[in-house]
Amino acid sequence: MPEDRTEQPHIVTCTAPVNIAVIKYWGKRNEDIILPINSSLSVTLHQDQLKTTTTVATSRSFQEDRIWLNGKEEDITHPRLQSCLREIRRLARKRRNDGDSGVDSASLSHKVHICSVNNFPTAAGLASSAAGFACLVYSLARVFGVEGELSGIARQGSGSACRSMYGGFVQWIMGNKEDGKDSLAQQVEPETHWPELRILVLVASAERKPVGSTSGMQTSVKTSCLLKHRAESVVPGRMVEMTEAIRKKDFAAFAELTMKDSNQFHATCLDTYPPIFYLNHVSQQIISLVHRYNKHYGETRVAYTFDAGPNAVIFTLQQHVPEFVHMVQYFFPPETNGADFIKGLPVNCASLSEELKQGIGLEPMPKGINYIISTKVFTHIYPHKQLLQHCIIGLL
Ligand code: DP6
């Protein structure tokens, strides 16, 4: 008699990266299947610093689908979770019917238990939903034996999640079909393309954002004519320019477009009625610091971008990291000046000249920034051998 393996849970663990948009997605033309009003482009960050880890198990003994996020059971009936589960199961069934031997027929009829954790604060404007849904879709696909293009499913969990399915530099092409079949993510350049590029996440506040991106963009679509103008007349040209700047590794062009696009996104938030404020006084001080720093050197060495929260994401080249980090430390004196202020990739020591400090001419803002995460561009999602230990109780 062949052994009945279906009693044993089938378990898969994967990790997924965070992505930061340099051409922002803001606004949907279809809320149900998440279709955007403009294309967008992002950079995938290194998972050593920022990642979601998800374990998915299927078993004949499970009574219902269940999910735990950061150790707490959440409502699996959430429509976006349901869309992802339904689409992966549909794809698996289709492949099995087409004769794909990789699809695990037994587990197709089984319920799933899902367990997901982030190694960074949730809902602090650090794109946790992007890494979360990308990881969920990828892990579900692995557990059911489905391969191929999955960004269209991740998109239905959270728009920006489709871009976390790929590494390096990634565009989300808005598409124009009603069924969304052409609204997919695509790699523009791999992570090996621009190894000198560095990213610093300046964590200004780890609190939950006041207006979530989903409801924020809904109000913007309804009320902001600036957003309509941006989507129709500004973003198409910027997508071309940004792709070109990345291809040529032209930092000045990349940086300028990144800053302008972040500023325009926040301008559309201000043009929303009632207005939405994601930037706070620390964010504004960071913007001034970056512009003054670039002006001091007479070249664009550093760029900022902000999502739906006050944390800044800084882009720069490797050789400027030590000085810029020490500038941030000088102008935002932390509570403790220890190693805790700088997390992630090690940052070499640098001294700041009096001339530079004077040239910047800003008043230091004590404790404005909690810490910096130093990171770089990275590759895509991948499966892991180990099980996510601390949520095994929920899973089995
Ligand atoms: C400001 O992808 O979180 O980060 O599709 O409603 O889940 P939903 O929104 P989400 O929006 C991200 C908006 C942004 C810009 C971006 O990442 O492009």
pLDDT digits (tens, 9 = 90+) for 53-75: 999 999 999 999 999 998 899 99
pLDDT band at 96 (very low <50, low <70, confident <90, very high): confident
Residue 389: is its pLDDT beyond 90? no
Q: Which of 144, 197, 140, 129 is nearest to 168 (CA)?
A: 197
Of ligand 1's listed atoms, the one at least distance from the Cα of 155 is: 5
Ligand 1 geometric centre to CA of 120 (Å): 17
Residue 394: is its pLDDT beyond 70? no
Other Cβ atoms within 10 Å of 243 Cβ, number: 16
pLDDT band at 337 (very low <50, low <70, confident <90, very high): low
Q: What is the ipTM of this complex?
A: 0.99
Q: For residue range 280-317, what is the model confidence (pLDDT) as tens digits? A: 999 999 999 999 999 999 999 999 999 998 999 999 99
Under 8 Å between Cβ of 134 and 154? yes
Residue 217: is its pLDDT beyond 50? yes
Residue 208: is its pLDDT beyond 70? no
Whole-number pLDDT of residue 329: 94
Outline where 29-165 has alpha helix (H): 79-97, 105-108, 128-144, 151-154
The 3-state DSSP class for residue 48 equals: coil
Choosing from 158, 160, 264 the residue with most ligand 1 atoms within 8 A of its CB, the one to mutate for a pocket test is 160
Whole-number pLDDT of residue 95: 87
pLDDT, average across residues 344-365: 92
Of ligand 1's listed atoms, the one at least distance from the Cα of 160 is: 2
pLDDT band at 150 (very low <50, low <70, confident <90, very high): very high
Place of tokens 């109780």: 393
Residue 390: is its pLDDT beyond 90? no
Ligand 1 site residues (CB inside 6 A) read 21, 24-26, 34, 40, 127, 129-130, 158-160, 213-214, 307-308
pLDDT, average across residues 79-84: 97
Ligand 1 geometric centre to CA of 160 (Å): 5
Of ligand 1's listed atoms, the one at least distance from the Cα of 133 is: 7
Ligand 1 geometric centre to CA of 328 (Å): 27
Of ligand 1's listed atoms, the one at least distance from the Cα of 36 is: 5
pLDDT, average across residues 323-342: 87
pLDDT, average across residues 244-258: 98
The 3-state DSSP class for residue 312 equals: strand
Beta strands in the chain (DSSP E): 10-17, 19-23, 28-30, 35-36, 40-44, 51-59, 66-69, 72-74, 111-118, 169-172, 185-189, 197-203, 302-305, 312-317, 342-344, 371-376, 382-384
Q: Which domains does the chain have, with CATH numbers?
A: 5-193+379-395 (3.30.230.10), 197-376 (3.30.70.890)
Whole-number pLDDT of residue 205: 63
Whole-number pLDDT of residue 99: 83
Whole-number pLDDT of residue 340: 83
Residue 142: is its pLDDT beyond 70? yes
Whole-number pLDDT of residue 248: 98
Ligand 1 geometric centre to CA of 219 (Å): 14
Q: For residue 77, what are the contacts with CB-CB under 8 A and spacing of at least 6?
A: none
Mean pLDDT of the chain: 90
Report the nearest-CA residue for atom 4 of ligand 1.
Answer: 307
Q: Give me the DSSP letters along 65-81.
A: -EEEETTEEE-TT-HHH
Enumerate the β-bridge partners of residue 117: 53
Q: For residue 166, what are the contacts with CB-CB under 8 A and spacing of at least 6?
A: 44, 151, 185, 186, 187, 380
Whole-number pLDDT of residue 207: 64
Of ligand 1's listed atoms, the one at least distance from the Cα of 24 is: 18
Of 379 and 394, the structure prediction assigns the larger pLDDT to 379
Report the nearest-CA residue for atom 14 of ligand 1.
Answer: 307
